[in-house]
Amino acid sequence: MQNKLIELVEARNRKQKTPVFAIGDNVDVSVKIVEGEKERVQVFSGVVIARKGSGINETFTVRRIVNDEGVERIFPIHSPSVVDVTVRRHGRIRRAKLYYLRQRVGKAVRLKERQQFGAAGAKGKKDDQEQ
């Protein structure tokens, strides 16, 4: 009985369209900030190093370097304060959590880019080889 009530409340607060991104992606997270009576949108850019939870409790962690200091921020995916998540670059990774990036400095933090091949990409690549 109680589970159905929880599901009903969660369904009402869940976003209809969730952002599509993966761990290792460089993202721009647009966050709504309230200062007194005013509202503004601030962008937090960085690498997604973790995703955890499921359903309405799902969160993701974004890490970036500011003034030679690592800054991590945890965002709930279904939060009304998270306006938009825009993927700038897809990273190629082999781990579920990228906590090892915390010990890295400078260029060692960079990840290789994941290549996106769709139906057109694979076809175009084959055409290039024939010529």
Q: Where are the beta strands (DSSP E) in the chain?
A: 26-35, 38-52, 59-66, 69-76, 82-89
Residue 35 lies in domain: 2-116
What is the pLDDT at residue 10? 85
Query: Is 21 domain-assigned?
Result: yes
Mean pLDDT of 37-52: 96
What is the CATH number for 49? 2.30.30.790
Confidence of residue 20 (pLDDT cuts 50, 70, 90): very high
Q: From residue 87, how far is each of 57, 77, 92 by CA, in Å? A: 21, 14, 14
Q: Are 74 and 59 in contact (CB under 8 A)?
A: yes
pLDDT reading at 131 higher than 50 = no
Q: Is residue 131 part of a domain?
A: no
* Residue 72 domain flag: yes
Q: How many domains does the chain have?
A: 1
Q: What is the pLDDT of residues 46-100, one digit of tens each?
A: 999 999 998 889 999 999 999 989 999 999 999 999 999 999 999 999 999 999 9
Residue 62 lies in a domain: yes
* Burial class of residue 68, CB neighbours in 10 A (0-12, 13-18, 19+): exposed
pTM > 0.95: no
Q: Is 86 within a domain?
A: yes
